Amino acid sequence: MAETDRKLTVSVAAGKGGTGKTLITCSLAQALVSERPGSVQVLDCDVEEPNCSILLHPEIDRREPVTILVPEVDVSLCIHCRKCAHACQVGAIAAIGKAVLTFHDLCSGCGACAYVCPTGAIREVPLRIGEVSHGISPEGIDFIEGRLDVGHQRATPVTHAVKHAISSKLTAIVDAPPGTACPMQEAVAETDYCILVTEPTPFGLANLREAVGTCRRIGVPCGVIVNRDRGEYAEMDEWLAAEAIEVLMRVPERREIAEAYSRGETLMSAGDEWRDELLGLYETIAEAVAAETAATSA
Ligand code: SF4
Ligand code: SF4
């Protein structure tokens, strides 16, 4: 079996926004589906700013709300004991005098307040925080996108709902949110491999160090794609070599790539050579995952 036959889940992340993460996600998906029709899915977990759809142009056929459970208090049953407020770790419920106030934007939906309430005055009710859309791109890429509703901060449940749609029968490419906070970690966790996209600048290197550290902490092997490469930033190359981090691909700073991107197209439109480059990228990742698996089970 060729390494490209393996059905991996590959996340694509970046220590900061604007590095070309989504371009890599969508380009890789298009290259893979051009070789194996119907075998690829893209999961947009950048739920605060999902934009894979701009490059993949999917037709959406289904939308599902994402909800969390938040407390609703029946004041007629409340005995003003304040146990709920003491149980809440994030200050999302407060008992003041004879009133119990809830702050749903702070609530994580943990259920502790309802659990400790001695009178059953608190019941948990669903609160919509976002939605997951399902569709298909013109090339036949299975497309899933999470979107956090405006005014909500709880990205992680939406990310979790998107990842729930991962199919073991398809090669899954997960577009993670930028940065290294909880939403990025939720998107990257339990994927087979993480591609970290960076740019060759001091800012890119600083954020890459954080992203590599995060992948190592959560136990996901990673390699790097240097985007807008001009071959002029030796400090990044020296650091990658010292840390034994594989450079999977370099995307040069070229006019035809910028023009394709500005038209809402991927690397696949920027030159015939990119299809082979991207298929080679996936093969390199599949080999790295196979080696990691062998080393772990030895
Ligand atoms: S569900 Fe959890 S986070 Fe929300 S108010 Fe109750 S204790 Fe606080
Ligand atoms: S725990 Fe229940 S009874 Fe006690 S203050 Fe909160 S809502 Fe009222």
Closest atom of ligand 1 to 111 CA is 1
b/e per residue, 124-158, with b = 16+ CB within 10 A?
eeebebbbbbbbbbebebbbbbbbbeeebebbbbb
Give the span between the Cα atoms of 7 and 40, in whole angstroms.
9
Is residue 228 one of the residues assigned to a domain?
Answer: yes
Alpha carbon nearest to ligand 1 atom 8, residue: 88
pLDDT tier for residue 233 given thresholds of 50, 70 and 90: confident
Q: In terms of domains, do 50 and 76 share one? A: no
3, pLDDT greater than 50: no
Mean pLDDT of all residues in 131-146:
97
Rounded to whole angstroms, how far apart are CA atoms 58 and 135?
A: 6
Going by C-alpha positions, the residue among 27, 29, 74, 21 that lies closest to residue 50 is 21
**Closest ligand relative to 92 C-alpha:** 1
Q: What's the CA-to-centroid distance between 157 and ligand 2, angstroms?
A: 27
pLDDT of amino acid 1: 42
Instruction: Supply φ then ψ for residue 280, to 5 degrees.
Output: -65, -40
State the sign of the Cα–Cα–Cα–Cα dihedral 215, 221, 227, 230: positive
Please state, in angstroms and rounded to a whole number, the distance separating the CA atoms of residues 39 and 28. 12
* 179 and 247 inside one domain: yes
Same domain, 220 and 97: no
* Spacing, Cα 215 to ligand 1 middle (Å): 30
What tokens were used for 1? Answer: 């079996």
pLDDT tens-place string over residues 240-296: 999 999 999 999 998 999 999 889 999 999 888 999 999 999 999 999 999 888 887
Smallest CA-to-CA distance from 51 within 26, 29, 30 is with 26
Do 168 and 33 fall within a single domain?
yes
The pLDDT of 4-20, averaged and rounded, is: 85
> What number is the average pLDDT over the span 197-217?
95
Answer whether 222 contacts ligand 2 (Cβ < 6 A).
no
* pLDDT over threshold 80, residue 197: yes
Instruction: Output the residue whose Cα is nearest ligand 2's atom 8.
Output: 78
Within 6 A (CB) of ligand 1 lie: 71, 87-88, 90, 92-93, 107-113
Q: Who has greater pLDDT, 4 or 237?
A: 237
Range of the domain at 118: 69-128
Residue 62 has pLDDT above 60, yes or no: yes
The answer to whether residue 18 scores a pLDDT higher than 80 is yes
**Residue 156 sits in the same domain as residue 209:** yes
The mean per-residue pLDDT over the stretch 25-36 comes to: 96
Kindly state whether residues 260 and 195 are assigned to the same domain. yes
Can you give the pLDDT at residue 130? 95
CATH number, residue 74: 3.30.70.20
Residue 200 is predicted with a pLDDT of: 93
Looking at residue 175, the DSSP 8-state letter turns out to be E
How many angstroms separate the alpha carbon of residue 108 from the centre of ligand 1? 6
DSSP label of 151: T
pLDDT score, position 51: 93
Token digits for 129? 């925080």
Q: DSSP of 196-238, one letter per residue?
A: EEE-SSHHHHHHHHHHHHHHHHHT--EEEEEEEE-S--HHHHH
Q: Is residue 63 part of a domain?
A: no
What predicted TM-score, i.e. pTM, was given to this entire model? Answer: 0.89
Separation of 160 CA from ligand 2 center, angstroms?
A: 31
Q: How many helices (H) and strands (E) does the chain have?
A: 10, 11
Query: Do the domain assignments include residue 64?
Result: no
Token reading at 207: 């954020």
Q: Compute the average pLDDT of residues 22-39.
A: 96
Residues 175 and 28 in one domain: yes
Mean pLDDT over 59-77 rounds to 95
Pocket test for ligand 1, best of 86, 101, 102, 113 (most atoms within 8 A of CB): 113
- pLDDT band (50, 70, 90) for residue 5: low
Whose Cα sits closest to atom 3 in ligand 2?
78
Tell the residue number behind the tokens 């954020």, with chain if given.
Answer: 207
Share of residues in the chain with pLDDT > 70 (%):
98
CATH number, domain with residue 163: 3.40.50.300
Per this entry, what is the length of the chain? 298
Residue 112 near ligand 2, beta carbon < 6 Å: no
CA 144 to chain centre: 12
My answer on whether 76 and 169 are in the same domain is no
Number of structural domains found in the chain: 2
pLDDT surpassing 70 at residue 6: no
pLDDT at residue 296, as a whole number? 78
Whether residue 75 contacts residue 100, with contact meaning beta carbons closer than 8 Å, is answered with yes
Please indicate, yes or no, if residue 289 is contained in any of the structural domains.
yes
Pair 203, 290 in one domain: yes
At 214-232, the pLDDT tens digits run: 999 999 999 999 999 988 7
Domain boundary among 128, 146, 170: 128
User: 297 pLDDT band (50/70/90 cuts)?
Assistant: confident
Dihedral in degrees, nearest 10, Cα atoms 9, 12, 15, 18: -160
Q: Is 96 among the domain residues?
A: yes
Query: Please, which pLDDT band fits residue 108 given cuts at 50, 70 and 90?
Result: confident
Q: In this structure, are residues 235 and 205 in contact, taking their beta carbons and an 8 Å threshold?
A: yes
pLDDT at 106: 87
Rounded Cα distance, 92 and 108, in Å: 8
Task: Tell me the average pLDDT across 120-126.
Answer: 96
